[in-house]
Amino acid sequence: MEKKILVAIDGSVFSSNSLDYLIRLFAHDNETIVHLLAVVSSAGSDQNWMFEVDPLRKQSPAMDAKTRVAEKYLKDAEKRLLRNGFTEKQVNVEATSSRANIATAIHHAAVHGSYDALLIGRRGMGKVGEMFFGSVSSQLLESCHEVPLWIIDGEVTSTRFLLAVHALPVSLMAADHLAFIIQANPESEIYLYHSSRFFGSDPRVSRKDFYAQWGEEWCAKYLDLENNLFGAHTRILIEGGVDKERIKQLDVQSGFNASHDLLRKAKKHHCGTIVLGRRGRETNKGFFGGVSERTTQKAQNQAVWLVG
């Protein structure tokens, strides 16, 4: 089944890391379609992204020059993918100008293009990284709930995934997204992990909360709330095309800090990507939103997928 991924490109080492991540996961997967997007913004608030432009001028000679630079970045990125297993039919490029800020323009493109995921590389830890994360990445983290958001930090070399398991519908949605994306990659392994202290069953969640997405009959058969939904997550992965041999369940543990616990467990088992389900925009300021944000901020040489 075709998968459409939108990738933000700015010509930096950070978008280069994103390309390496794509190549490692999807080279020679003919069903993956990659759309490379570079945004030239006339808004004045995105000075940590691609360009500094004059917000009072519209498509000035300077803006034209910036657009040509963006097109060069895109062409270089396209050639890199083509050299590493992608075909011309799988890769398309777009340089666009926008009066909105960079994050808004990228979000708009992701939603209206009906993409299956939005991938963005972020600058690493330290003062420069924190400044960047405070702009484009954090804006997308807050606003982009319609499309799964993949945030890549540094060089991600492993094709193993850590799926954070908890008893909420969005967690099963994260499992479904993961299965859809990597079912064709036989080298990918999935580690299911549940931290009992922070990812326990929410007393406000009932079986009926899962019916709309999964159906009453399926829930009656597979929804194992008493087992932290390990069985339900496994079933969704298998139904999504992932071989059972590629799925491993880690022991339930209790950590003092949820984000630290996830990152530590991922590193211990050499997982390059952490997959998290998160609640909707209206409830994301609560605890689970905090886990998503802190995990993304602290990830180093790891990717974090946020679904929901």
Domain-wise residue ranges, the chain: 3-153, 160-307
Instruction: Tell me the range of 5-19, 53-67, 124-138 where mean pLDDT is highest.
Output: 5-19
Whole-number mean pLDDT of the chain? 85
Write down how long the chain is.
Answer: 308
CATH of domain 3-153: 3.40.50.620
Looking from the CA of 3 toward its CB, the CA atoms found within 13 Å total: 22
Q: Is the pLDDT of residue 53 over 50?
A: no
pLDDT of amino acid 63: 74
For residues 24-48, give the mean pLDDT.
Answer: 80
**Selected residue with higher pLDDT from 123 and 287:** 123
CATH of domain 160-307: 3.40.50.620
Residues 6+ apart with CB under 8 A from 171: 164, 165, 229, 233, 277
pLDDT in tens, 293-307: 888 888 999 999 999
CA distance 190 to 182: 10
**Nearest in space to 283 (alpha carbons), one of 122, 168, 196, 119:** 168
For residues 98-115, give the mean pLDDT.
Answer: 90
The pTM assigned to this predicted structure is 0.88
Phi, psi values for residue 148, rounded to 5°: -55, 135
pLDDT of amino acid 159: 95
Three-class SS of residue 160?
Answer: strand
H helical segments located in 43-101: 61-83
CA distance 129 to 211: 41
Check if 3-153 and 160-307 are the same fold. Answer: yes
Residues 6+ apart with CB under 8 A from 90: 30, 32, 33, 34, 81
